[in-house]
Chain A
Amino acid sequence: MDWTALWLSLRLAGWTVLFLLPVAVVMGRFLAYRQFRAKGLIEALVMLPLVLPPTVFGFYLLVAFGRGSVVGDLWQTLFGHQLVFSFEGLVVASIIFNLPFAIQPAQRGFEAIPTEVREAASCCGMSPWRSLWKVELPLAWPGLMTAMVLTFAHTLGEFGIVLMVGGSIPGETKTIAISIYDRVQGFDDRGAAIMSGVLVSISLFTIAVTFWLSSRVGRRLG
């Protein structure tokens, strides 16, 4: 059992969720409420990671963040090490390839709020900020929770992009999914089975918690 890899995967998923939550709120809300000409284009761009082969996507990220790239060189100057093949680089890649999993459900969550309810909040004297806290977030909560759970689960399981951008450095970029692959390659079927089992348990537990929470929310709203 590769505890280091499991802990690394959980940290990666945790950081990704943490960074994507505000992004999902801002982007989901924007796409849900506004009607504009380029909306279809933005939605398509957000969906892109869903349809691109992970290796292709990973390759482009590698090019965009690697040595000689604007982002990569800036990171090198700021933090003294390169962005690719590091945990931070993995987090950045993870945030980008999880965009559809976070934004889509969040957008659906905000779209489910009737327009008049938002207008009522405004007419009740609530500033946009207060309306977000008091009315919109509580009502869009099921969508946001789905977004976070999908992101978390998807990060744990992502393989291709992680391998391309992170390599497989133990303790730095070797996630549990890659570790399982390594065990299988090394004919350690037992180790692979145990780790796969652990991943399945974590996924089931997450989904169970989500269902339980959303049923509670459902009752609260009912």
Chain B
Amino acid sequence: MALEVMARAAAPIPLDVAFRVEPGELLALVGHSGSGKTTLLRTIAGLWRPEVARVTVDGTAWLDTAAGVSLPSHRRRVGIVFQNYALFPHMTAAQNVMAAMGTPEAGEAERLLELVNLIGLSDRKPAQLSGGQQQRVAVARALARRPKTLLLDEPFSAVDRVTREKLYGEIIALRAHLKMPVVLVTHDVNEAQLLADRMVVISAGQVVREGTTAQVMADPAALRAMGIREVAAMLPATVVEHLPDGLTRLDAPTGPLFLPTVEGVPGTRVRVRIMAHDVILSRARPEGLSAQNIIAGTVVRTVPGGGPGMMVHVAVGDHEILARITRRAAEQLGLHPGDTVHAILKSMSVARDHVARARNDDTSAPQAATPVPDAVSPVR
């Protein structure tokens, strides 16, 4: 059931890309606008045909320019969620979903709408639904085709931040039901890191880096293609308790984390993105600081950037925290691999949409019942 894509074209943008997505895997195609990522999605769907291309699903060729095979899009079992959803404006939510079925079944449409948490609104027209509700209908419609591959084209870009956070959680929860390869096109590195298993970074129609999210996020070349300020480490964590002052205490492999309210009952597993430029490093364990999170670790390596900056990889247990500091600071601290450092993170610097619920089968997250070790309690 794997999806294999190879595409080469000279226009409208030079393109030379190949990748593979396994069943049940979510691959993010990340790149700036004009990088060619949407063109790739359109190639898979049959809405665009590059000069040289091969798209196979489950071993069957949908497109093979060498062999002269090219199925029209209505013959490809593909589910696609467009950036602006492209719902049929003259149909109700339920009719939109049924429009994608060979033989329309009202019961099945209702079930799919429930699956995407759209309940009691099946008789509404798209114009009567909010952006987030429209996105849910679009997802249900894409699934109604029983697609062999699911394509998501910037599906979160048209909604506000609060809705987006909610939809992230829903997509993650929905993935338990998805057995097909899923391709997410996005320019938002945060989104890719929160949702994807693997990433393909595309710049000017070429693959810059391909790998697991952790691998890609630690690669300087990939980071440059995505914009260096976006660099972040991903930590799995578990909600421990909500404190009366509005902070949530989380348990991470790096020790406890105090963040502004994270939604979810104690035991909820989440992924937290820690932006490299928000992390301060200190040789000695600092005292009298306002920052709530001080994490001790070991310098693994330092990677100089093109400018005055430098990326420091700090190992904490099995995980890595990334800190982006100046070369000057690294020299002053005399940082070398093997040195012990303290990473300092302000609670308020973790944006709310940088925390997302983890998948239930996310094995990288710690067990819910892990007690919080008191020894590394942060400075209060």
Q: Please give the residue numbers on chain A whose beta carbons come within 8 Å of chain B beta carbons, in ascending order.
A: 114, 116-117, 119-128, 131, 134-135, 138-139, 220-222
Do A220 and B99 have beta carbons less than 8 Å apart? no
What band does the interface of chain B fall in when counting residues whose beta carbon is under 8 Å from A?
Answer: 20 to 34
Do A116 and B90 have beta carbons less than 8 Å apart? no
Cβ of B100 within 8 Å of any chain A Cβ, yes or no, is: yes
Q: How many A-B residue pairs have CB under 8 A?
A: 70
Please report the C-alpha to C-alpha distance between residue A124 and residue B141 in the assembled complex, in whole angstroms.
8
CB-contact partner of A123 in B78, B89, B127, under 8 A = B78
Please report the C-alpha to C-alpha distance between residue A204 and residue B84 in the assembled complex, in whole angstroms.
40
Do A119 and B47 have beta carbons less than 8 Å apart? yes
B139 → A minimal CB distance (Å) = 13
Some 17 contacts from A to B, beta carbons below 8 A apart, are: A114-B84, A116-B84, A119-B45, A119-B73, A120-B82, A120-B141, A121-B88, A121-B99, A123-B73, A123-B76, A124-B74, A124-B141, A125-B77, A126-B99, A128-B74, A135-B99, A220-B90
Cβ of B86 within 8 Å of any chain A Cβ, yes or no, is: yes
Please report the C-alpha to C-alpha distance between residue A125 and residue B78 in the assembled complex, in whole angstroms.
8
Do B125 and A222 have beta carbons less than 8 Å apart? yes
Please report the C-alpha to C-alpha distance between residue A122 and residue B145 in the assembled complex, in whole angstroms.
11
| Given A116-B82, A122-B74, A123-B80, A134:B99 Cβ within 8 A | yes
For residue B144, which residues in chain A have a CB less than 8 angstroms away from its CB? 124
For residue A114, which residues in chain B have a CB less than 8 angstroms away from its CB? 84, 86
Question: Interface on chain A toward B: helix, strand, loop, or mixed SS?
Answer: helix
Please report the C-alpha to C-alpha distance between residue A128 and residue B74 in the assembled complex, in whole angstroms.
8
| Given A220-B90, A221-B127, A222-B125, A125:B74 Cβ within 8 A | yes
For residue B46, which residues in chain A have a CB less than 8 angstroms away from its CB? 122-123
For residue B145, which residues in chain A have a CB less than 8 angstroms away from its CB? 123-125
Do B102 and A116 have beta carbons less than 8 Å apart? no
Do B125 and A123 have beta carbons less than 8 Å apart? no
Do B125 and A138 have beta carbons less than 8 Å apart? no
Mask of B91-115 contacts with A, CB within 8 angstroms, 1/0: 0000000011010000000000000
CB-contact partner of A138 in B80, B84, B90, under 8 A = B90
Please report the C-alpha to C-alpha distance between residue A121 and residue B84 in the assembled complex, in whole angstroms.
14
Please report the C-alpha to C-alpha distance between residue A134 and residue B80 in the assembled complex, in whole angstroms.
19
Please report the C-alpha to C-alpha distance between residue A134 and residue B89 in the assembled complex, in whole angstroms.
12
Question: Interface on chain B toward A: helix, strand, loop, or mixed SS?
Answer: loop
Cβ of B72 within 8 Å of any chain A Cβ, yes or no, is: yes
| Given A126-B74, A139-B90, A221-B125, A119:B102 Cβ within 8 A | no
Mask of B138-180 contacts with A, CB within 8 angstroms, 1/0: 0001001100000000000000000000000000000000000
Do A125 and B72 have beta carbons less than 8 Å apart? no
Output the nearest chain B residue to A126 by Cβ-Cβ distance: B74
Mask of B34-49 contacts with A, CB within 8 angstroms, 1/0: 0000000000011100
B259 → A minimal CB distance (Å) = 38
Do B74 and A221 have beta carbons less than 8 Å apart? no
CB-contact partner of A120 in B72, B80, B90, B125, under 8 A = B80
Mask of B12-46 contacts with A, CB within 8 angstroms, 1/0: 00000000000000000000000000000000011
| Given A125-B145, A126-B99, A221-B125, A120:B88 Cβ within 8 A | yes
Please report the C-alpha to C-alpha distance between residue A119 and residue B44 in the assembled complex, in whole angstroms.
13
Please report the C-alpha to C-alpha distance between residue A50 and residue B239 in the assembled complex, in whole angstroms.
72
Do B74 and A123 have beta carbons less than 8 Å apart? yes
For residue B102, which residues in chain A have a CB less than 8 angstroms away from its CB? 125
Output the nearest chain B residue to A131 by Cβ-Cβ distance: B74
A137 → B minimal CB distance (Å) = 10
Do B45 and A123 have beta carbons less than 8 Å apart? yes
A35 → B minimal CB distance (Å) = 13
Q: A123-B47, A126-B74 are in contact. List 17 more A-B contacts (CB 8 A).
A: A116-B83, A116-B86, A117-B87, A119-B73, A119-B82, A120-B80, A120-B82, A123-B45, A124-B99, A125-B74, A125-B145, A128-B74, A131-B74, A135-B90, A135-B99, A221-B125, A222-B125
Please report the C-alpha to C-alpha distance between residue A131 and residue B141 in the assembled complex, in whole angstroms.
15
A117 → B minimal CB distance (Å) = 5
Please report the C-alpha to C-alpha distance between residue A124 and residue B91 in the assembled complex, in whole angstroms.
14
Please report the C-alpha to C-alpha distance between residue A89 and residue B73 in the assembled complex, in whole angstroms.
44
For residue A122, which residues in chain B have a CB less than 8 angstroms away from its CB? 46-47, 72-74
A136 → B minimal CB distance (Å) = 10
Please report the C-alpha to C-alpha distance between residue A116 and residue B154 in the assembled complex, in whole angstroms.
14
For residue B86, which residues in chain A have a CB less than 8 angstroms away from its CB? 114, 116-117, 119-120
B366 → A minimal CB distance (Å) = 40
For residue B100, which residues in chain A have a CB less than 8 angstroms away from its CB? 124-125
For residue B141, which residues in chain A have a CB less than 8 angstroms away from its CB? 120, 124
A58 → B minimal CB distance (Å) = 41
